[in-house]
Amino acid sequence: MVEERYAKQINFRGIGLEGQKLLKKARVLIVGCGALGTVVANSLARTGVGYLRIVDRDFVELSNLHRQILFNEADAANSVPKAEAAREALLKANSGIEIEAVIKDVNSITIEGLAGDMDIIVDCTDNFKTRYLINDVAFLKGIPWIYGGAVGSTGVVKSYIPGETGCLRCLMEVPPPTGSIATCDTAGVINMITGIVGMYQSSEVIKYLTDNKDLMNKSMLFIDLWDNVFESVEVGKKEDCPCCQQRKFQYLEDKMPEAVHICGSNSVQVDPGSSKKIQLKQLHERLQAAGIAVRLTPFILNISAEGYEIKVFDDGRAIIKNAKTVEEGKVVYAKYIGY
């Protein structure tokens, strides 16, 4: 039965039966389950990767559905967390693998625990802060990672292998200044580019896991589908790189949680950094008694107040829609949830 499921890719010379067995043993961390993450998770699950850990802090919204391929209208109507919605969808396609859904923010406090037992990390995020964290933990622990990004009609993919390639900081020692690059809020995004970037990332993962590391693309691939541009740029090691050469992991060492703007959703996430779970039922009862519109689901407490839509998770995080700045988000959090 197993061989029948994967027969077509086992017949492919690059994988074969031995490669399929390696995939079954593999453990992959997917950071972010939006446009790229749903494509990557779908591909790896159907390919037979034995263990997928899908981590995402967000929930499904209607505006996600044009590009985030594992979700449906019911997921959006019920504000299902993206990681859980992806897990449920993928297990219907392949019940023979293990999928862990982690509804959590990836930050300097959580990332080492999430990445420590993984064979490879796939970056499916929408912000450079998280990418620099991934880069730090990957080179600290010697775990390869696949960088991917897409906005408008353009996409970028780059594979990083500790000990063999340089790292993200060889290319850009510090993240680009806030507001200096296009985002999906300002430039939009088409689903064709997210599909291509996600599938290219998946291909790099499969090469690595099936002992075809020599076939991975060590260059940075740039694609613009609208203008028909495909470029490959060589990116070498920087001899004085603070991360991969000097082994200084400054982004990993900064343990201060903070409020952040979430690309594409007109929302601010506030994470107080507490190690204790919040009692959503008690918060629901307190707010309801105060006459505030609240709705409790198995995963999220929904609060509607003063034009804000607030989604509270049991780890204490909240995503506040219509908060224009991180400062405004913190004020709303303090008012309705409290630190």
CA distance 45 to 92: 10
Question: Is the per-residue pLDDT at 273 higher than 80?
Answer: no
Residues 117 and 176 in one domain: yes
Tell me how many domains the chain contains: 2
Residues 32 and 173 in one domain: yes
The predicted pLDDT at position 327 comes to: 79
Q: Kind and range of the H or E element at 135?
A: helix 128-141
Domain of 151, CATH number, reads: 3.40.50.720
Structure-model confidence comparison of residues 178 and 2, the more confident one? 2
Q: How far is CA 284 from CA 146, 237, 292, 301, in A?
A: 40, 52, 9, 7
Among the listed residues 294, 290, 289, 291, the one whose alpha carbon sits nearest the alpha carbon of residue 308:
294
Query: Is 316 within 8 Å of 301 (Cβ atoms)?
Result: no
Residues 232 and 178 in one domain: yes
For the chain, the distance separating the N- and C-terminal CA atoms, rounded to the nearest angstrom, is 53
Predicted TM-score (pTM) of this structure = 0.84
Residues 312 and 224 in one domain: no
Confidence band of 182 (pLDDT split at 50, 70, 90): low
As given in the structure block, the two tokens for residue 284 are 């629901």
Task: Determine the structural domain holding residue 290 and report its residue range.
Answer: 260-336
Residues 134 and 269 in one domain: no
Give the β-pairing of 220-224 and 154-160.
antiparallel
Residues 89 and 117 in one domain: yes
Name the least confident of 133-137, 174-178, 281-285, 314-318: 174-178
At 146 the three-state DSSP class reads strand
Kindly report, residue by residue over 36-58, the tens digit of the pLDDT: 999 999 999 999 999 999 999 88
Residues 324 and 206 in one domain: no
Domain of 311, CATH number, reads: 3.30.310.10
Return the sign of the alpha-carbon dihedral for residues 99, 104, 107, 110.
negative
Residues 131 and 36 in one domain: yes
Confidence band of 125 (pLDDT split at 50, 70, 90): very high
Residues 223 and 319 in one domain: no
Burial 227-261 (b: 16+ CB within 10 A, else e): eeeeeeeebeebeebbbbbeeebebbebeebebbb
Residues 181 and 302 in one domain: no
Rounded average pLDDT over 126-150 = 95
User: Amino acid identity of 188?
Assistant: G
Confidence band of 198 (pLDDT split at 50, 70, 90): very high
Domain boundary among 237, 253, 269: 253
Domain boundary among 234, 253, 272: 253
Sheet containing 220-224, strands listed edge to edge, beginning at the edge strand earlier in sequence: 98-103, 51-56, 27-31, 120-123, 145-151, 154-160, 220-224, 229-233
Residues 228 and 294 in one domain: no
Give the β-pairing of 293-296 and 154-160.
unpaired
Domain boundary among 253, 288, 317: 253
Name the least confident of 9-13, 119-123, 244-248, 271-275: 271-275
